[in-house]
Amino acid sequence: MLDLAIIGGGPAGLSAGLYATRGGLKNVVMFEKGMPGGQITSSSEIENYPGVAQVMDGISFMTPWSEQCMRFGLKHEMVGVEQVSKNADGTFTIKLEGGKSEMAKAVIVCTGSAPKKAGFKGEEEFFGRGVSTCATCDGFFYKNKEVAVLGGGDTALEEALYLANICSKIYLIHRRDTFRAAPSTVEKVKKNEKIELITNASVDEVYGDASGVLGVKLKLQNGERDLKVPGIFTFVGLNVRNEILKQDDGSFLCEMEAGGQVSVNLKMQTNIAGLFAAGDLRKDAPKQVICAAGDGAVAALSALSYIENLH
């Protein structure tokens, strides 16, 4: 029986691992299907983590996080989790890929989220080299340059406004001529002189060379257009990785938000005793490394207190 199972090894999972093991738990396993580090390891540069003045790539940035946890006794099992369920005696069963399962007294779910892909040609090839899904992270690299933004939801329009403070011009591309975003946000975007709306348009292709993106080819209602921009931000929705909380009958183990995020309180507790969620997966997540790390620490402290009170 594990004291604590942590599922996902991004900033939230690793911080949870550090605080749980350093807080005295002996039998803590982090189930991470890949190498630890999470989404940020796909980023070429991180420069907004407080206290880390040196700009570095995501893998270099995250490597010491696992080293630090392992020093305090966190174990990493490189295996995907298929399902978490609660047993009648209050413990949890963690069903693993490959048929095995583990039992734990408490569980912290940190499986994160993954931006949806838009599906245009060049999206995969240039991801991280001009195609981005994070304006807070990468917007600064396009200071005083023109960029494209794809999407018509709250995220796309809010991020277009954010980028307009940094970049010289934003081409906001949307496949319809009405927006899903809040009307007040749409108004702000329409009033912003740096943003040009290109509606009823789709991205046909992003092209470039070894240096990165050089342009974006659009399909319009009546023709085509070639934008000579070094970057495109795609905000076409997010997939929260909540699948492991689905039970055999199709319901979720705990309360969820309408968008699929896990409902938690400020202690990162779900409505199920002993089950915690942290990071991008939880409701209202700001989707930043610093926030996921803070969540992980909070969740671990809550789990420590939960386990202590079991005795």
Please give the residue ranges that form the binding site for ligand FAD (CB under 6 A). 7-13, 31-34, 38-40, 42-43, 46, 48, 80-81, 110-112, 128, 133-134, 137, 241, 244, 279-281, 287-290, 292
211 vs 199: CA distance, rounded Å: 29
Active site residue 137: yes
Q: Which is nearer to ligand NAP, 28 or 292 (CB)?
A: 292
Q: Which of 110, 137, 254, 291 is catalytic?
A: 137
**Minimum CB separation from ligand NAP for residue 1, in Å?**
38
Q: Which of 57, 134, 154, 204 is catalytic?
A: 134
Q: Which is nearer to ligand NAP, 64 or 259 (CB)?
A: 259
Active site residue 134: yes
Strand runs labelled E in the chain: 2-7, 28-31, 75-77, 81-86, 92-96, 101-109, 113-115, 131-132, 146-150, 169-173, 195-198, 202-209, 212-220, 223-227, 232-234, 238-240, 275-277
**Minimum CB separation from ligand FAD for residue 10, in Å?**
2
Q: Which of 138, 280, 291, 295 is catalytic?
A: 138
Let me know: does 231 contact 213? Beta carbons within 8 Å.
yes
Look at residue 122 and give the partner it binds from ligand NAP, ligand FAD, none, a contact being a CB closer than 5 to 8 Å depending on partner kind: none
Whole-number CA gyration radius for the chain:
21
130: left (phi over 0), alpha (psi -120 to 50) or beta: left
The binding site for ligand NAP (CB under 6 A) comprises 118-119, 150-156, 158, 175-176, 180, 235-238, 259
Active site residue 280: no
**Minimum CB separation from ligand FAD for residue 201, in Å?**
24
Look at residue 156 and give the partner it binds from ligand FAD, ligand NAP, none, a contact being a CB closer than 5 to 8 Å depending on partner kind: ligand NAP
200 vs 198: CA distance, rounded Å: 7
Look at residue 7 and give the partner it binds from ligand FAD, ligand NAP, none, a contact being a CB closer than 5 to 8 Å depending on partner kind: ligand FAD
Beta-bridge mates of residue 56 = 46
Task: Kindly tell me the burial class for residue 100, based on how many C-beta atoms sit within 10 Å of its own C-beta (0-12, 13-18, 19 or more).
Answer: exposed
Q: Which residues are catalytic?
A: 134, 137-138
